[in-house]
Chain A
Amino acid sequence: MIVESDETMPVRTSDDVVRVRQAVRARSVAAGFSLVDQTKIITAASEIARNTVDYGGGGTLRIEVLRNGQRRGVRLTFADQGPGIADVAQAMTDGFTSGHGLGLGLSGAKRLVNEFKIVSAPGQGTEITLARWK
């Protein structure tokens, strides 16, 4: 697998969430994604970026454009040093929310990408990796 581009940006404020959407759009266009694929990964990124700001106390996003043979993809890694998630399985359930949202953030974002991984524990922060392939 070849990494075609690799960049990291801050995810601290709601303005950063907008910047995340713009950066993910630019990278998914660069990877040759269709409009629907672009829309899906941007929407997933928006959900997770908001979680990083609201629950993780801010963090970073690493955006990589990957090539695996003929396939190209975009991999997003959101990392924060926040309180972490005690029960990841529960947090992944549709409708479960610890805040004021609809509880669709994590579970909905997962449905919009091809790969989804959460590494989190109380006091250990949270790292969420999403990838979508063309």
Chain B
Amino acid sequence: MSEIPILKIGDCLLVSIQVDMHDRLAMALQDDLTERIVRDRARGVMIDISALEIVDSFIGRMLNNIAAMSRVLDAVTVVVGMRPAVAITLVELGLTLSGVRTALNVDKGLAMIRGLIDTPERVDDRRER
């Protein structure tokens, strides 16, 4: 188990990263989330990174991996709350997070997840990627 709590809200899982993660913790979170998606039959995963002061290539890769794994397990991932300075730095670093959906805050993230789960256009959307 990682030290980062995973909350279940309906058919969604919510993770709020509140600590400066060392690499093993990031890997543990990735494993735990994948397990919980299956165990809880989750359809959506929301990751709140509003407390993260940086996202480097390792954390970026973790976010990409979680999004890819949840997609394979028929769940959608939305990353919310990225700080503006983090967004500027990520782009300059060369990390596009191309496989990850983002929303400004938790409210918008939940609405995005609901929209993706409830509408059939998700099928087309998947084919594109």
Contacts and interface: CB of A to CB of B under 8 A. Distances in A.
Interface string B57-87: 1101100000000000000000000011110
B85 A111 contact: no
Contact of B56 (A22, A36, A38, A47): A47
A111 B92 contact: yes
A35 B83 CA distance: 10
Interface in A83-134: 94, 101-102, 104-105, 107-109, 111-112
B93 A111 contact: yes
A131 B61 CA distance: 26
A105 B56 CA distance: 9
Nearest to B56: A46
A11 interface: no
A39 B54 contact: yes
A8 interface: no
Given A36-B85, A39-B86, A104-B94, A14 B22 contact: yes
A43 B20 contact: no
A17 interface: yes
Interface residues of B, number: 23
B40 to A, nearest CB: 29
Interface of B: 20-24, 53-58, 60-61, 83-86, 88-89, 92-95
9 contacts: A14-B23, A21-B54, A46-B58, A47-B57, A50-B23, A101-B61, A104-B93, A105-B57, A111-B93
Given A46-B56, A108-B57, 9 more contacts: A39-B88, A42-B53, A43-B89, A47-B57, A101-B61, A108-B93, A111-B93, A112-B92, A112-B93
Q: Would you list the 5 A-B pairs with minimal beta carbon distance, nearest first? A: A108-B93, A39-B85, A46-B56, A14-B22, A14-B23
